[in-house]
């Protein structure tokens, strides 16, 4: 499996790369992850099987050019800012939280499991874009996982690559099953 990880200048990108390699190797025989910066994003994506949009500072409006990623037809997974970029692409909105949650854990219920996840964000998906559904939210109703109803697109507001997330590999495996194999 060939994965393009688009780095939005986040300190967690290499952790995410390592988690992707570890998780995908358990599911597949071989994996290659290419990490390219947002400013080096290619126009064609036929060299990859999946695209991952990394976390990063700022807001989705600061990162132009993701329309081609969403329209590539490839499975797309967005993490934190990546989920917000997905949401805005489909017409949703992103607003500021009442308080920042940097390096804090939260509990979500997903696939009939209750798990602790790491949050590092001050923005959130306040309205969910067309075709997206909330697959998991925290107790305050903040969307933590969104998935497109008919396209291979999924976003996670939390950081599965953080050591504070209890079962990071579980979330990557689940994303692979849902968006790559759909």
Catalytic residue positions?
A: 80, 159, 161
Question: Residue 180 CA to chain centroid, in angstroms?
Answer: 14
Instruction: List, in sequence order, every beta strand (DSSP E) within 38-169.
Output: 50-53, 76-79, 93-110, 113-127, 132-137, 143-148, 153-156
SS3 113: strand
Round to whole Å and give the CA distance between 55 and 121.
9
Round to whole Å and give the CA distance between 132 and 4.
22
> Which letter does DSSP use for residue 130 in this model?
T
H-run or E-run covering 175: helix 168-175
Q: Measured over all CA atoms, what is the biggest interatomic distance in the chain, rounded to whole angstroms? A: 44
H helix intervals, 55-153 = 67-70, 81-89
């Amino acid at each position: 499996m060939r994965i393009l990880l688009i780095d939005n200048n986040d300190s967690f990108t290499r952790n995410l790369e390592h988690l992707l390699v570890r998780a995908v190797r358990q599911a597949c025989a071989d994996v290659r992850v290419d990490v390219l910066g947002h400013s080096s994003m290619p126009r064609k994506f036929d060299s990859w099987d999946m695209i991952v949009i990394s976390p990063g500072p700022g807001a989705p409006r600061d990162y132009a050019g993701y329309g081609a990623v969403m329209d590539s037809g490839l499975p797309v997974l967005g993490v934190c800012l990546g989920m917000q970029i997905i949401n805005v692409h489909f017409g949703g909105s992103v607003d500021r939280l009442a308080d920042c949650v940097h390096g804090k854990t939260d509990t979500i219920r997903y696939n009939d499991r209750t798990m602790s996840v790491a949050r590092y964000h001050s923005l959130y998906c306040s309205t969910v874009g067309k075709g997206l559904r909330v697959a998991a939210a925290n107790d305050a109703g903040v969307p933590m996982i969104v998935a497109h109803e008919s396209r291979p697109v999924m976003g996670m507001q939390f950081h599965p690559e953080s050591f504070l997330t209890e079962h990071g590999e579980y979330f990557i495996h689940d994303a692979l099953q849902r968006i790559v194999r759909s």
